[in-house]
């Protein structure tokens, strides 16, 4: 089988070497399309492949149509909002993710962003400490849970908002009102997927409820934030701060208006560690090998 790794933002070389070893060990051929700049390159590269490993690469309907032999797509990572699931399902193409494999890297970045924003972007000036502050976590999957543990180690109080039954997260202080989460916490970390239900859910009403000096951290997706609401909240409340790993559509304009109140990484870097690349990349390769060897569909997201 032909397995293509198509990554506009490539994995570390050590991860690609590991992926290749697994794929070849199982008798398949590995092809690489890295740092591509035009969609046409992706359309050409998928033409005769049986399997795809991707990151945030957009697998739209036309990509699926161009990949006539495609049987499986594995998103090496958590969020699969970049894959047209309906188009894949219509062609009986299995789509999987690799949950948890890059979570620690994202959790560490979220903590780093809290410190960066609290310390005036590492510029002179009096900042504040995380210890003794309250962190609200919106979304308590793999990343949210890791952030919670790290925050506790830093001396923070943690409040969790999740739709899941309380019993599952007994050791945590869980609340079921987003309004209460935002109005209570000095820091909020958003760790939810972008879905039809969550898009724009972090609204003006929520952001503007944050206590004085509140700081919102988004390492999830830009779509979950209502950008108009964010703009309004930052303009009305010069004490509020927003740091994100996924630049808002109008980031340049917001940066111009709000200076150090806002920060975005230049390119999504939550999963940009060798460890995360290796964990997610090798998991993807193993999942593809198991799929072709035994038909295993564990982690399929379009069942």
Query: Where on the chain is the footprint of ligand 3PG (CB under 6 A)?
Result: 9, 55-56, 77-79, 102, 268, 270-271
Q: Residue 102 or 264: which CB sits closer to ligand 3PG?
A: 102
- Least distance CB 264 / ligand 3PG (angstroms): 14
Q: Which residue is nearest to ligand 3PG (CB)?
A: 77
Q: Residue 231 or 245: which CB sits closer to ligand 3PG?
A: 245
Q: Residue 56 or 208: which CB sits closer to ligand 3PG?
A: 56
- Least distance CB 271 / ligand 3PG (angstroms): 4
Q: In whole angstroms, what is the distance from residue 34 CA to residue 32 CA?
A: 6
Q: Residue 55 or 133: which CB sits closer to ligand 3PG?
A: 55
Q: Residue 89 or 273: which CB sits closer to ligand 3PG?
A: 273
Q: Residue 102 or 189: which CB sits closer to ligand 3PG?
A: 102
- Give the residue among 75, 60, 69 at the shortest CA–CA distance from 92: 69
Q: SS3 of 275, please? A: helix
Start-to-end C-alpha separation, the chain: 23
Q: In whole angstroms, what is the distance from residue 28 CA to residue 22 CA?
A: 9
- Least distance CB 249 / ligand 3PG (angstroms): 17
Helix axes 274-294, 103-118, angle to 10 degrees: 160
- Least distance CB 190 / ligand 3PG (angstroms): 12
Greatest alpha-carbon pair distance for the chain in Å reads: 60
Burial class, 249, CB count within 10 angstroms (exposed 0-12 / middle 13-18 / buried 19+): exposed
Mark out the alpha helices in 38-95 (DSSP H runs).
39-45, 61-66, 85-90
- Least distance CB 241 / ligand 3PG (angstroms): 22
Q: In whole angstroms, what is the distance from residue 137 CA to residue 55 CA?
A: 25
- Least distance CB 295 / ligand 3PG (angstroms): 25
Return the number of other C-beta atoms located less than 10 Å from residue 68's C-beta: 11
């Amino acid at each position: 089988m032909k397995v293509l790794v198509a990554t506009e933002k490539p994995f570390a070389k050590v991860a690609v070497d590991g992926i290749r070893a697994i794929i070849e060990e199982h008798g398949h051929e590995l092809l690489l399309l890295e740092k591509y700049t035009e969609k046409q390159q992706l359309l050409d590269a998928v033409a005769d492949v049986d399997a795809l490993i991707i990151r945030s690469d957009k697998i739209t309907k036309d990509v699926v149509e161009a990949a006539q032999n495609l049987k499986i797509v594995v998103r090496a990572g958590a969020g699969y909002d970049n894959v047209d699931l309906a188009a894949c399902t219509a062609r009986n193409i299995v789509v999987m993710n690799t949950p948890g494999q890059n979570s620690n890297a994202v959790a560490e970045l979220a903590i780093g962003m809290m410190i960066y924003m609290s310390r005036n972007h590492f510029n002179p000036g009096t900042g504040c400490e995380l210890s003794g502050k309250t962190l609200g976590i919106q979304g308590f999957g793999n990343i949210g849970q890791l952030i919670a543990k790290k925050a506790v180690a830093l001396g923070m109080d943690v409040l969790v908002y999740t739709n899941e039954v309380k019993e599952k997260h007994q050791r945590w202080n869980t609340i079921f009102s987003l309004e209460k989460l935002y109005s209570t916490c000095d820091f909020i970390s958003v760790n939810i997927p972008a879905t039809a239900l969550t898009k724009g859910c972090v609204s003006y009403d929520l952001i503007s409820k944050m206590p004085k000096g509140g700081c919102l951290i988004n390492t999830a997706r830009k779509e979950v934030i209502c950008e108009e609401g964010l703009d309004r909240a930052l303009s009305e409340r010069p004490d509020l701060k927003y740091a994100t790993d996924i630049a808002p559509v109008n980031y340049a304009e917001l940066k111009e208006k709000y200076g150090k109140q806002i920060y975005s990484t230049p390119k999504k870097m939550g999963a940009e560690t060798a460890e995360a690349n290796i964990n997610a990349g090798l998991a993807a390769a193993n999942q593809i090998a198991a799929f072709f060897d035994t038909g295993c569909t564990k982690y399929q997201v379009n069942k």
